[in-house]
Structure 1
Amino acid sequence: MCGTPRPATLIAVTTTTSPAASAVGLTKVYGSGDSRVAALDDVTVDFAAGRFTAIMGPSGSGKSTLMHCVAGLDEPTSGRVWLGDVELSALADDDLTALRRDRVGFVFQAFNLLPTLTAWENITLPLDLAGKRTDQRLADTIVRAVGLGDRLHHRPSQLSGGQQQRVACARAMVTGPDVVFADEPTGALDSRASADLLGLLRRGVDELGQTVVMVTHEPAAAAYADRVLFLADGRLVDALDAPTADRVLDRMKSLERVS
């Protein structure tokens, strides 16, 4: 898409490949009456399998809400969400919990590592909780990718912030999930650690065939993605393929001028 984004216009962002996750008519409303706020307003979107998608927008645009609803962490007010061919709203709570555990990986700004476990134990924790055996070949590949082979027996307090976030990223990937959702994963990292983490997410897509959906406010981070989706006032208003940091920054400036 070219030109000035049009936040008053609803657009459906779909892909030409089978989606790993998708939503139709997604709406999320908080409050009622004069205090009613539509965090998402009739959003339809596909996230293609084996691709890296970034979600951007001004503060309060609904980008984290969109990711949380698609990931099954939050329940939309209306609309439908699928992970692959499974509709999340059709699942009982226990089934939804199992699906998130088995088929989804999460990386958040807060590392969420257990302080009493080693790096290796934190990485394999989702498998232990599910009672599954570790795919040693995949685990070894991921450990090499995160570059922490000599730190696996260290606890989080013995690791730098960047190292802790790489452990969290490895934990999200080790189950071979359908989608890895990352919510501002570089927010607590310096520029070098951010580049390391983003490179790891990129390699997860390129080398392991994983699907990554990342919320970020940083144009340089979005440039690692295959595609960037832009939100404003709870609506999808633009998309950019093969992004560069400069092109993303230009789109964000346009959104901020009209928001």
Structure 2
Amino acid sequence: MSSPTFSPAPPSAPTSGPALRTQDLTKVYGTGETVIRALDHVSVEFDRGMFTAIMGPSGSGKSTLMHCAAGLDSVTSGRAWIGNTEITSLGDRELTLVRRERVGFVFQAFNLLPTGTAEENIVLPLRLAGRKPDREWFDHIVRVLGIQDRLSHRPGEMSGGQQQRVAVARALITRPDVIFADEPTGALDSASGADLLDFLRRSVRELGQTIIMVTHDPRAAGYADRVITLTDGQISGDRIVDPAGPGHTEQGR
């Protein structure tokens, strides 16, 4: 089955400056001899409209970087910005609003409400913000992701791949500055995982979305435009992906 075609949609985020950046970001757990420096003065910028993969061995700090950069975890020192907003200086309430309205999340475990329908799960971030869905944008997303016939289904009535597509739609619905994807293909079979990565890549290329994905899978990273590698809490590699890679073929465009 051929992939659906994206039609252009106006971006909601500012087009100037990086979507996200960090400066000397440091995260330390424990004290004394038991101290663990999960992040060690990490400074990095993520351009708008780019698909970036963050890789590294277990304990390298890749998930910690995502959590701190997304405002899901506090930092020991250093600063982080989403757009022009310094999130490391915000209080809990302000940070919650930024995460709700300017950040999208796609998790390996889907994190869907089991009692809610697909449609209810997709529009949940808008409901929490007291906003009504833009029906044209909603219809566009579900059409692109091929889940029009699953909107009345609950998660238990959908396959893993369908649930993950619902999770992607939920992340896109607010037109966020950046989407963070944490091992998004980890619970999927290879075919469903490839489909999902193709949708993520095309949302970057054709909708201008910014995506930062944590993954341990080199094949998944091959769909990205850029791969950052962490080792012992520091950036040990930063490269642009070969455009002839698996996600950069005509099928992935």
Deviation at 1:91, TM superposition (A): 1.2
Task: In structure 2, give the amino acid aligned to 1:66.
Answer: L
In the alignment, residue 69 of structure 1 is paired with which amino acid? C
* 1:19 counterpart SS class: coil
> Alpha-carbon deviation of 1:103?
0.3
Q: Please give the alpha-carbon distance, in whole angstroms, between the structure 2 residues aligned to 1:139 and 1:192.
A: 25
State the distance in 1 between where 2:93 and 2:110 align.
25
Give the equivalent residue in structure 2 for 1:122: 121
Q: Establish whether residue 113 from structure 1 lines up as the match of residue 112 from structure 2.
A: yes
Aligned to 1:240: 239
Change (3 A) 1:32 1:245: farther
C-alpha distance in 1 between matches for 2:110 and 2:84 = 30
Query: Identity over aligned residues, as a percent?
Result: 62
What SS does the corresponding residue of 1:25 show, helix, strand or coil?
strand
- 2:212 is aligned to 213
Asked if 2 retains the 8 angstrom alpha-carbon contact of 1:50 and 1:210, the reply is yes
Mapped to 1, the partners of 2:148 and 2:100 lie a distance apart of: 25
Checking the alignment, whether the CA contact within 8 Å between 1:222 and 1:243 is kept in structure 2 is no
Residue matched to 1:177: 176
Contact 1:219/1:245 (CA < 8 Å) preserved in 2? no
Matched pairs, number: 231
- Name the CA distance, whole Å, in 1 between partners of 2:184 and 2:243: 19
Between the aligned partners of 1:75 and 1:121, the Cα distance in structure 2 is 30
| TM-score for both structures, normalised by structure 1 | 0.86
Aligned to 2:26: 27
Preserved contact between residue 75 and residue 88 of structure 2 (Cα < 8 Å)? no
Alpha carbons 2:223, 2:245 under 8 Å: kept: no
TM-score (norm 2): 0.88
Code of the residue aligned with 1:133 in structure 2: it is K
| 1:43 has 2:42 as partner | yes
Letter in 2 for 1:220: R
In structure 2, the partner of 1:158 is: 157
1:23/1:82 contact within 8 Å kept: yes
Structure 1: runs of 5+ lacking an equivalent = 1-16, 248-259
Secondary structure, counterpart of 1:45 in structure 2 = strand
> 18-27 or 135-144: which moved more?
135-144
Please name the residue that 2:59 is paired with. Answer: 60
Quote the Cα distance in structure 1 between the aligned partners of 2:243 and 2:50. 16
TM-fit CA distance, 1:242? 2.2
**Offset of residue 245 of structure 1:** 9.6
Which ranges in structure 2 are unaligned for 5 or more consecutive residues? 1-15, 247-253
Q: How far does residue 115 in structure 1 lie from its aligned partner after superposition? A: 1.0
Do the aligned residues in 2 keep the contact of 1:29 with 1:36 (CA within 8 Å)?
yes
3-state SS of paired residue (2:174): coil
For each residue in 1:89-111, what CA deviation from the matched residue of structure 2 results, as whole angstroms up to 9, or x when unmatched?
22111000011000000011111
* Residues 183-224 of structure 1 deviation map (CA, whole Å, 9 limit, x = unaligned): 111111100110111111112111211100000000110011
- Structure 1 residues 55 and 186, CA, compared in 2 at 3 Å: closer, same or farther? same
**Is the 1:21–1:84 Cα contact (8 Å) retained in structure 2?**
yes
RMSD over aligned CA atoms reads: 1.5
Whole-Å separation in 2 of the counterparts to 1:176 and 1:54? 20
TM-superposed CA distance for 1:18, in Å, is 2.1
Q: What SS class does the counterpart of residue 149 from structure 2 fall into? A: coil
- Aligned position for 1:97: 96
1:222 and 1:245 in contact (8 A); partners too: no
What's the counterpart of residue 141 of structure 1? 140
Please give the per-residue CA displacement for 1:125-159, whole angstroms capped at 9, x wherever unaligned.
11111111211222112101211111111110000
Moved over 4 A (4+): 244-247
Aligned partner of residue 150 in structure 1, secondary structure: helix
Q: Distance in 1 between matches of 2:114 and 2:75?
A: 33
Q: Do the aligned residues in 1 keep the contact of 2:25 with 2:42 (CA within 8 Å)?
A: yes
